[in-house]
Structure 1
């Protein structure tokens, strides 16, 4: 696992350089968000992107920035501390399920257009429900759109539904469509159809939220967080203290969970 140099102790830089770097980073992030919002408005205005085909194995994920820190340089204790620091345990997190004081936290980085994410969601995720309901496990979902602009739009749509209390229902519908091989266009018409299907009450507000620059910024920040951990594929999980890439089957996944419960 390659770490962002900012996470590494003992690599301080002069205050002036750090300030200049921060200003440059903020400026780049601002410009990026503005460009993406404009592109999103244009794309949805034309009834969505034309590359919204179902995900396939040939789609390349974005590459993480290189880091001078080698995974071999981290001690096991440092690796565990880094992974567990990704837990938020925020009682107001709308993208989390379960008790904030649960025994363990599972963090998932996923893309709504990812075929393996859909497979895991439909076939494995329901097996976690008893653990979540009993207070043993907390599940925290993180957007990691790696399959192009349509993945970003899908994440926006799920969060737009979440503003009306239907984040999980909307995401479930997106994953089930992908699992069933429906090959949707991921355009405005599709997002509105899913919103109606799951019971979004205010469709006008939902549609307006599809171009919310703040929400877009949050999605891209989530993506950058994953890339800083060198997570380029989906689904990827942090099961308490262990990085788990890929969609494990139900038995394997539950074994990992059971081994980490007290």
Structure 2
């Protein structure tokens, strides 16, 4: 029984959730916006296996100042009921589609990083490729070390920087068919590694046309174990321990 370190549980149908949770020891349920935060909180109260994270996903239009303040105030009010700030970060994929003014997104992310430090909570990050360097700058500026880069992809320089700073990454089921992710697993210490599904995001290969759910972490751990020269059981033990440690489960 593994811990899904990153899943959008609020995006599943209510009647799907009990069966999904049977496949995991715990799940870290990240949030997209204030309504999503409220649903994640509700799910964490309904199911002991669900641990909520509150944030604002960057791949969407920004909030108004008033909406942003409302979100931050709500998070502070419910900080004892969350395990992390997240999902937050920078809009890398939105930037590929259209011109985006990055400065307001960077400012919002910095505000979340300051909040994570204030509340002494880990921060769950959506930051890939060149965005990861910007995020590392902000984390270092505010001396925040409890950072989790989910579904991370990046160059050698930023990987070394993240390892040096002790930042965690989580691996998705695409490690079973993506060479880029397999190369990342080779480079990154297993002591800083977790597994996730990012469900309900769909996957290819053996997962094609299947609903994303926590059982898909099992093949991921098998790949990690093979690359690291460990038994599947040993890899699972280390990865689970990492997640428990970071999220204080």
- Which bin holds the TM-score, normalised by the shorter protein? under 0.3
Larger RCO, structures 1/2 (Cα 8 Å, 6+ apart) = 1
Report the TM-score when normalising by structure 2: 0.28
When Rg is computed on C-alpha atoms for both structures, the one with the higher figure is 1
Report the TM-score when normalising by structure 1: 0.27
| Structure with the bigger percentage of strand | 2
